[in-house]
Structures are given as C-alpha cells and as structure tokens.
Amino acid sequence: MGIEAISLDFWNTLFVERPGGFMFYAARRQQLLAAAAEDCGPLTDEQIANACHSEAELHHQVWRCEHRTLPTRQRISTILALLGATLPPEKIDQLAIAYEEGILERPPVMVQGAREALGELSAKYKLGIISDVGFSPGRVLKKVLADTGILDAFESLIFSDEAGCSKPHPAVFEQTASRLGTNPCRIAHIGDLEHTDIIGAKAAGYHAIRFVGITPLGQGETTLADRLARDWREVPGMLETF
C-alpha cells in the first residue's frame, strides 16, 4: 500500500518569511498599537514592547500546552490589559484586522524548490495543508496561497483558528484525512516541528517527513519522523519508498 495523499505544514515548510520579516512585522504591530492607544496616556516604546513580549509568551504556552491558537482580537485585548489601556470595541476590531493582514505588506515566499515539487506531487497525490497560525489567520494565509498561484493545488485547508485546535491535536489530522477521503495510513505529513507536525502525524496514523531545510534538528535531537528531507528535491523520491 502506497501513499495516496500528502498534508503539508505552511510555515518553514512551504513558506518562509523574507529576511528581516519577523522583526518588520513585530515593529509594525507595535507602531499600530501605539497609534491606536495614543489617547490612553503616555506609553513608552519599551512598555509596549514588553507587553507584546509578555503576551507572546502567554500565547506560546497556550499553543504548546493546550493545542490551540488564540484569536487576534483576544491577543490584542491581553496586550492592552497588560498596558492598563482601554480601547472601544470598534477600535480593537480595526486594530485586529490591521494585525491580521500585516504580512500582506511584505508577504512570505515559498521555500526554495517547493513550487517545483508541489507541481510534481499534485499530479500524483491529493494535497492538503495543516497549519497553525499566529496573528495571520487562515483567511489571510489563503490569500497568500492564492496570490502565489498554488491555492487550487489543495483539496483540504485546515488552519488552527478555523479548526478550533492546533497540531498535534488529533482533530486536525482526522479532519484532513476525512476531507481528502484517504485512510491515515496512506497519508504522509510534511512539516518542520517535532512536537506539532511529527508527533501529531504519527499519533494520527500518518507517515511523517520532517523538513529540516529551514528548521534543522537541534544538537543531539532525535525524531519520530520516518524520513528527513533537507531539500524539496528529495521529497518526491522519498514518498515512493513508503
């Protein structure tokens, strides 16, 4: 029995931020927050940066321990609470949209070789995406896929904000198998993170390829993945070996 379908991670597997992108997005969000909260009293850049950092750590804990990602509006409300600032609901809504769509100003790019591999794989396998999100929700990442010209290659799109849970929660893998109409044992998941992509995929009965071209294994780190791919050119051949 061979592979019939493939699910792929989005960040650092299919797409990567442009050089300096993370710092650019973070600075832009802080600028937007400062402008929105200018009537709340004097807030220094350091106070805003510290509040954003504290909220990011809280969000990371929820993602890592509870296997879910928080809506942008809720995350902004937490930052404001840490700052002791209050904004009207409509202003928070506007700020949330600006946060969510921020990456469209400088969108991520496809990992080298991913487009060519995707073209080859889409001719043989059913494809899906399973992606956790940060400030940019599924609706924005779908636009990135569309603008890149690859949206139609996927029969299933599962984003954590829409699914209500994040990897390694079994539900995202179960939903993907159902949408692709394929038994989990005939699906291979490709992703870069051990604790979400690989552990989640293997627990769901998938095969797993850990993509280490962007996120390498740490020193002494082991993996449950069936294969390691350092370059997208390796992937089509690997899938033939299952």
**pLDDT by residue, tens only, the chain of 242 residues:** 699 999 999 999 999 999 999 899 999 999 999 998 887 778 899 999 999 999 999 999 999 999 999 999 999 999 999 999 999 999 999 999 999 999 999 999 999 999 999 999 999 999 999 999 999 999 999 999 999 999 999 999 999 999 999 999 999 999 999 999 999 999 999 999 999 999 999 999 999 999 999 999 999 999 999 999 999 999 999 999 99
Q: Are residues 95 and 117 in the same domain?
A: no
Q: Are residues 141 and 190 in the same domain?
A: yes
Q: Are residues 140 and 205 in the same domain?
A: yes
Q: Are residues 45 and 12 in the same domain?
A: no
Q: Quick one: pLDDT at residue 197?
A: 98
* Whole-angstrom distance, CA of residue 28 vs CA of residue 30: 5
Beta-strand runs (E) in the chain: 5-8, 15-16, 109-110, 126-131, 156-159, 187-191, 207-211, 227-229
Q: What is the 3-state secondary structure (H, E, C) of 128-166?
A: EEEECCCCCCHHHHHHHHHHHCCHHHCCEEEEHHHHCCC
Q: Quick one: pLDDT at residue 165?
A: 97
* Whole-angstrom distance, CA of residue 184 vs CA of residue 53: 38
Q: Quick one: pLDDT at residue 105?
A: 93
Q: Are residues 43 and 138 in the same domain?
A: no
Residue-number span of the structural domain to which 149 is assigned: 5-17+108-239
Say which residue the tokens 């990371």 belong to: 60
Q: Quick one: pLDDT at residue 1?
A: 66
DSSP 82-98: HHT----HHHHHHHHHH
Contact 119, 52 (CB under 8 A): no
Q: Are residues 9 and 42 in the same domain?
A: no
Instruction: Look at residues 104, 130, 164 and tell me which one is the last residue of a structural domain.
Output: 104
213 CB-near residues (< 8 Å, 6+ apart) = 111, 112, 229, 230, 231, 232
Q: Are residues 136 and 61 in the same domain?
A: no
* Whole-angstrom distance, CA of residue 30 vs CA of residue 104: 17
Q: Are residues 119 and 83 in the same domain?
A: no
Among residues 129, 138, 205, 133, which one has the least CA distance to residue 170? 205
What CATH number should be reported for the domain holding residue 133?
3.40.50.1000
Domains contained in the chain, number: 2
Q: Are residues 115 and 235 in the same domain?
A: yes
Tokens for 172? 């995202």
Q: Are residues 145 and 221 in the same domain?
A: yes
In this structure, are strands 109-110 and 15-16 parallel, antiparallel, or unpaired? antiparallel
Q: How many CA atoms lie within 13 A of 176 on its CB side?
A: 36
* Whole-angstrom distance, CA of residue 56 vs CA of residue 198: 24
